Amino acid sequence: MFLKYKKKIQTILLYKDSPLLSIEDKVNIILSPEYYWVKKVSLPIKYVREVKPLLPSLFEGSIPDGQYSYSAYKDGDDFYIFAYEDKSILDVIHAKGLKTAQVQNIYFAQSEFSALEQPVSIDASQSMCLEEGIVVLLPSLWIEEGSDLNISTLTLSKHKNSLKQFGHLVDNKSLYGIIGIFLFFILAATSELYMTMQKIETQVLQREKLFQDKTLKSTMMQNRAILTELKKVHENQTSFRRAIGSVLSLKLQGNEKLSLITLKNKKLLIEFVNIKRVREIQILGILKKKGLVFTSSLKSEVLKVEVKL
Closest approach, Cβ 72 to other proteins, in A, equals: 16
302 secondary structure, DSSP code: E
**Of residues 185, 293, 295, 308, which one binds other proteins by CB under 8 A?**
185
State residue 258 phi and psi, 5-degree precision: -95, 115
CA–CA distance, 169 with 155 (Å, rounded to integer): 35
Instruction: Report whether 52 contacts 190 (CB < 8 A).
Output: no
- The count of other CB atoms within 10 Å of the CB of residue 80 is 21
The answer to whether residue 219 forms part of the interface with other proteins (CB under 8 A) is no
Cross-strand pairs, 79: 41, 74
Residue nearer to other proteins on the CB measure, 40 or 241 = 241
Closest approach, Cβ 102 to other proteins, in A, equals: 9
Instruction: Report whether 306 contacts 295 (CB < 8 A).
Output: yes
The answer to whether residue 238 forms part of the interface with other proteins (CB under 8 A) is no
The answer to whether residue 226 forms part of the interface with other proteins (CB under 8 A) is yes
**Of residues 9, 23, 95, 260, which one binds other proteins by CB under 8 A?**
260
CA–CA distance, 108 with 7 (Å, rounded to integer): 23
Residue nearer to other proteins on the CB measure, 257 or 288 = 257
CA–CA distance, 266 with 307 (Å, rounded to integer): 9
Closest approach, Cβ 163 to other proteins, in A, equals: 6
Locate all alpha helices (DSSP H) within the chain, ordered by sequence. Answer: 48-51, 55-59, 86-95, 109-112, 172-213, 220-248, 277-289
The answer to whether residue 175 forms part of the interface with other proteins (CB under 8 A) is yes
Question: Smallest Cα–Cα separation from 38: which of 157, 105, 127, 136?
Answer: 136
Closest approach, Cβ 189 to other proteins, in A, equals: 4
**Of residues 23, 45, 48, 230, which one binds other proteins by CB under 8 A?**
230
Using CB under 8 A as the binding rule, the residues of this chain from 14 to 53 that contact other proteins are none
Query: Coil, helix or strand for 36?
Result: coil
The answer to whether residue 199 forms part of the interface with other proteins (CB under 8 A) is yes
Contact residues: other proteins, CB under 8 A? 100, 103-106, 162-167, 170, 172, 175-176, 178-179, 182-183, 185-186, 189-190, 192-193, 196-197, 199-200, 203-204, 206-207, 210-211, 214, 216, 220, 223-224, 226-227, 230-231, 233-234, 237, 240-241, 244-245, 248, 257-264
